[in-house]
A and B are shown apart, each in its own frame.
Chain A
Amino acid sequence: MTNVVRLDNVTKVYTMGDQRVEALKGISFTVRPGEFVSIMGASGSGKSTCMNVLGCLDVPTSGEYRLEEVNVGKLSRNQLAEIRNLKIGFVFQGFNLLARTTARENVELPLVYAHVPSTERRERAMAALAQVGLADRADHYSNQLSGGQQQRVAIARALVNDPAIIMADEPTGNLDSATSEEIMGIFQGLNRQGITIIMVTHEPDIAAFTGRQIIFRDGLIVSDAPNSTPRLAAKTEERKS
C-alpha cells in the first residue's frame, strides 16, 4: 500500500532579522493509511513546525514532502489551500470554531469552500456531527457548548470533507482529563474505521492512546517506535454532559 505521508530529509529554516533558526534539521518518516501516530517533544523541538508542514500550512525549505504522492513543496498558496480543504482535517488545541455560528454551520464551513451545494452540505454536516455524537446539538451556537463538545464539533469539521489525514494539534491541551479521554476515545473510534490520524502532543498519557510515537528533539527525530499496546479509552460516552 502506498504511504499517505512521506517526508524525505525535510528541513525548515526561519530567518528572523539576522538570525537563522533551524526548526527542522532534516527529518524523514512515512505514515501508512490507517495509522494513528503521535508526535511528541518539548516546546522548541520542531514538532509544531513539522505539524505546519504536514498540514500544508507551510512548505519545507528543502527536502520533499509527499501527501498521497503529491509533492506539496511545489504548490502555490491557493493550491495548498485546496489540498488543506480536500485532504486534511484540522483539530486545534483552542478548538478554533467560529463564534456566533451554530455547530452545524461550523462543520459545513470546509464544504462551503469546496463549493458543495447547500442541501448536500447540510446532510454531510449532520452525518459528521452524528459520528461524534452531537447530532442533537447541531443548532447550538459554538459558544453555548462545553469545551469537550466544542472539540467534538471541531473533529466533525475535520471529518466532513472525508480527508486523507486528520491533523490534531494538542487536541486535549485545553481539556480536563476525563474529557481528554472522551476525545481520545472518539479519535480511536475514527481510527478503527480506517482514518489516518497524526496528533501532536507533549503529554505522554495522551500519546499512550496512539499506535505509534515519534519523538522530536532540537529539530530531529530521536525516536520512532510503534506502541503495540495502546491504551484504550473507556467507553463512557457521556453525551448529555
Chain B
Amino acid sequence: MTSAKSAKRIDDINNKNDRTNREGLRGWLNPIIYGWERVSYWFQRLTGIFLLVYFIGHVYETSSLVSGPDAWAAMLEMTQTIGGHIFLILVIGASTLHTVNGIRLIFTQSGQGLGKPGRPDYPYDPTSVNNKQRSGLWIAFILAAVAMLYGANVLFSGE
C-alpha cells in the first residue's frame, strides 16, 4: 500500500474520531455475556423505546374521540382484537419492567445498595454487582409476569 495511505491511517489513529473496531450497535446486542446488569440495561432500553412508540400510538388512537362515536367505534374495532390484546399485554409487561427496574436504577445510580469502597483482595469480586441490587431486576421480571397474567385475564375475560 502507498505510504500516503499509511500516513492517513496513522493520522486517523491519532485522530479522536477513529471509529475503527468500535463495536457499534453490535456492542448493545450481546446482553448475556456480562451479567445481570447488562441484561437490565438491554431490557430498559428495549422497553423504553417500545413504550415511547406505544405512547405516541396511544395518543393518536385516543384522539379519534374528538371525531365522534363512529370514529371511536372504528378505532375500538381495530384495537380490541386478539392481536390488539396481545400487544397490550406486552405493553403492560414492558411498562411494569421499565418502571420497577427504573426505580432500582434510580437507587443504584445514586450510589445506594452498591456497597462501600474498600481494599480489594483476590478474587477481586466487585461489590457493586451484588445480588442485593440485582434482586430489584429479578423482582421487576416477576412483577411484569404477574401484571401480564392479570392483564390477560382482564382483557380476555372482558371484566
The finding on whether chains A and B are genuine partners in a shared complex, rather than unrelated, reads: no
